[in-house]
Amino acid sequence: PEIASSNLPAGVAEPQNVKPSGGESSPYLRSFRLAINNDSVSPNNIIAYVGDILTLTFESVDKTYDFVQPDFGLRWQVAAGGSKTFQFQTSNPGKFIFYCPSCGGPGKGPVGYVTAVAR
């Protein structure tokens, strides 16, 4: 989460905005933009600290996509040429998948990950 943008590995999202939500030990608010095109998400990896509050904006270029994130119980749709923004808080460390089941699931359609690491 605190890697300089010039040192980010390929496919790892750089936050558009990072700011504390309160005091020094409070979770951070992190905003990310992700593009969906040709059955792929770019960037496809988001890294944050456990407890951070994430705002994700998905933008579809070519068609409508349906996404699920089973661990957090999230479902959303992004219309062709449109965007969808939502917010959630990471609660446990781990790597959590999101994917488009209507595109064929994780093995065929767009897929990405939210990785929450301990502070």
- The pLDDT score that the predictor gives to residue 34 is 97
Q: For residue range 60-109, list pLDDT tens digits in order.
A: 999 999 999 999 889 999 999 999 999 999 889 999 999 999 999 999 98
According to DSSP, the residues that pair with 1 across neighbouring strands are none
**Alpha carbons 63 and 81: distance in angstroms, whole number:** 7
**What does pTM read for this prediction?**
0.80
Q: For residue range 2-42, list pLDDT tens digits in order.
A: 555 556 667 777 777 676 666 666 788 999 999 999 999 99
> Three-state secondary structure along 75-114?
EEEECCCCEEEEEEECCCCEEEEEECHHHCCCCCCCEEEE
